Amino acid sequence: MNTFFCSDDSRQVGEDVIGSATNYQTYILVECPLPWTSEALNSKWVPQNLRILVEEVKRTKLPIRFLLIANDLSHKVNQTTLLIYQKQEGLSNGYHKQEFKLENIEQVAAVVEKWIWGISSNSEVETSTTRDILVCTHGSHDKCCARYGAPFYFNVTAKKADLCLDNVRIWKSSHFGGHRFAPTIIDLPEGRYYGRIDIDSFRSILARTGDIQCLNKVYRGWGILPATLQVLERELMLCNGWDWFNYKVAGKILEQSLDNNTILGELSFEQPSGSLYTYQAKLVRDETKTQQLKSSCNATRELVVTKYAVSSLWVSSSKVMSYST
């Protein structure tokens, strides 16, 4: 019997991973012990009050993504971690984190509901954690995440000392899209997505060292930007080197053709010095990289996955800070 793995197929056809990061305003991460069912929120440890809240959020179309997270201790800890990552407005380098320690998962819904209404909670805590890295290991949703995500999580946590993971937490996560790029991760608070990642590229991403060109193969895009602008951001990142990760960025689509084959995009960035640059770019549908493929292991038919290329790029404005002595 021929077993189909979507990530093997995507690799074989040479699909470019860029432009596949999802753009959410808010991530709500709920610590919940495994096992998780294919639809994570139907898992046995998820309380009814949380399911009801998630349904309400979906109905009101709030741009919130709920994910379950766990680590190797989640099943024996007598508290639940709740993380809320909210996208910063304007020029930003990602998301703002709020962390809550709750006695149990039943308390999550009430705290989230208060948060939606702008009411603070006394269970909020300060931590020394600077990064939360989510590895999709959700094998019941797509078998590639079990086949590639789970071993990656195991290897990374086993090499914890070697990888200098001080103040970095690694979590198993429920499905956040792009399992055909397994192993796939989200690096928060930045909100950058990576796929087909291995220990070497992961080490470079953690420390922001080494040859930045390695990101060409593993960088899925930045979740604060529309998918079509992610290829433009990658281009600027590869030109600017690791310094790019210290810049604040904002992007928008200015125009697009009716057939979506041509897009005019704009990306502004501010350097730590305060200098501000705005680039505009013409993005065109890249026929050499646009492919038909199955987006998941269980897909019954192929989809056309459109990729874009930067056909021209120019500086539309710059404001360099000058300090008079």
- The amino acid that residue 241 corresponds to is G
Residue finishing a domain among 186, 215, 244: 215
Question: What was the pLDDT predicted at 324?
Answer: 47
Q: Are residues 210 and 76 in the same domain?
A: yes
> Which H or E element spans position 70?
strand 64-70
Residue 9's pLDDT band, with cuts at 50, 70 and 90, is: low
Instruction: Give me the sign of the Cα torsion angle 121, 126, 127, 133.
Output: positive
User: Under 8 Å CB-to-CB from 124, ≥6 apart: which residues?
Assistant: 98, 99, 100
User: Under 8 Å CB-to-CB from 227, ≥6 apart: which residues?
Assistant: 19, 20, 21, 22, 23, 221
For residue 203 the two structure tokens come to 């080490």
> How many CB atoms lie under 10 A from the CB of residue 16?
22
Q: Are residues 98 and 140 in the same domain?
A: yes
Residue 221 within a domain: no
Task: Determine the Cα–Cα distance for residues 106 and 56; give it in Å rounded to an integer.
Answer: 17
Question: What was the pLDDT predicted at 297?
Answer: 64
DSSP 142-179: -HHIIIIIHHHHHHHHHTTTTTT-TTEEEEEE---S-G
> How many CB atoms lie under 10 A from the CB of residue 4?
13
Q: Are residues 38 and 95 in the same domain?
A: yes
> Domain limits at 272?
226-319
Q: Are residues 99 and 19 in the same domain?
A: yes
Q: Are residues 140 and 23 in the same domain?
A: yes
* pTM beyond cutoff 0.85: yes
Of 123, 145, 8, residue with least CA distance to 67: 145
Residue 325's pLDDT band, with cuts at 50, 70 and 90, is: very low
Q: Are residues 205 and 165 in the same domain?
A: yes
Residue 119 within a domain: yes
Q: Are residues 208 and 310 in the same domain?
A: no
Instruction: Give me the sign of the Cα torsion angle 8, 10, 13, 17.
Output: negative
Which domain CATH number covers 187?
A: 3.40.30.10
Task: Determine the Cα–Cα distance for residues 112 and 115; give it in Å rounded to an integer.
Answer: 5
Write the pLDDT tens digit of every residue in 156-214: 998 876 777 788 999 999 999 877 888 999 999 999 999 999 999 999 999 999 999 99
For residues 140 and 43, which has the higher predicted lDDT (pLDDT)?
43
Residue 13 within a domain: yes
Residue 220 within a domain: no
Which domain CATH number covers 251?
A: 3.10.450
Write the pLDDT tens digit of every residue in 220-244: 999 999 999 999 999 999 999 999 9
Q: Are residues 161 and 240 in the same domain?
A: no
Residue finishing a domain among 215, 248, 279: 215
Residue 188 within a domain: yes
Q: Provide the domain count of the chain.
A: 2
Question: What was the pLDDT predicted at 121?
Answer: 84
How big is the CA angle at 142 (ends 170 and 177), to the nearest 5 degrees?
Answer: 65
Q: Are residues 201 and 236 in the same domain?
A: no
Burial of 142 (0-12, 13-18, 19+ CB in 10 A): buried
For residues 162 and 118, which has the higher predicted lDDT (pLDDT)?
118
Residue finishing a domain among 215, 249, 274: 215
Write the pLDDT tens digit of every residue in 296-315: 667 777 777 788 999 999 99
